[in-house]
Amino acid sequence: MLFHISAQHDHSTCTRVLHGPEAAKSGQAWVEGNDAVEVIGAWGHPVSHRSFAVLKADTFEDVASLLEFHLAMGPVEVLPVSDNVQRRKDMGYWGER
């Protein structure tokens, strides 16, 4: 199952602002995923302290566990999404206009 992630914090909870660039290294480790969650892609907008990602996992709980560290920093939105490209291919419509 695919999940779209949007996570935001502010300057008062930002690991990089509070503890410097070296500390931010551990705060970004989630982008490597884990045994239960594959990170398809991860993007950031540093000016607004906002991150976006697309993850692949079997359960919501696996995704929530990976992102639990961020809950004290700011809101995290986890939305299950469908792969519309794959869906169109599966339906046999790919290439038809």
pLDDT given for residue 11 in this prediction:
86
71-75, Cβ contacts within 8 angstroms, sequence gap of 24 or more: 72/13, 73/7, 73/9, 73/13, 73/14, 73/15, 74/7, 74/8, 74/9, 74/10, 74/13, 74/49, 75/7, 75/8
Superfamily, domain 2-90: Dimeric alpha+beta barrel (3.30.70.1060)
CA dihedral 5, 47, 10, 67 (to 10 degrees): 20
CA distance 75 to 6: 8
pLDDT given for residue 57 in this prediction:
98
pLDDT given for residue 71 in this prediction:
86
Q: Over its length of 97 residues, how does the chain's per-residue pLDDT go in tens digits?
A: 999 999 999 989 888 888 887 877 777 899 999 999 999 999 999 899 999 999 999 999 999 999 998 888 999 999 999 999 999 999 999 998 8
pLDDT given for residue 23 in this prediction:
76
Nearest one of 39, 26, 32 to 70, comparing CA atoms: 26
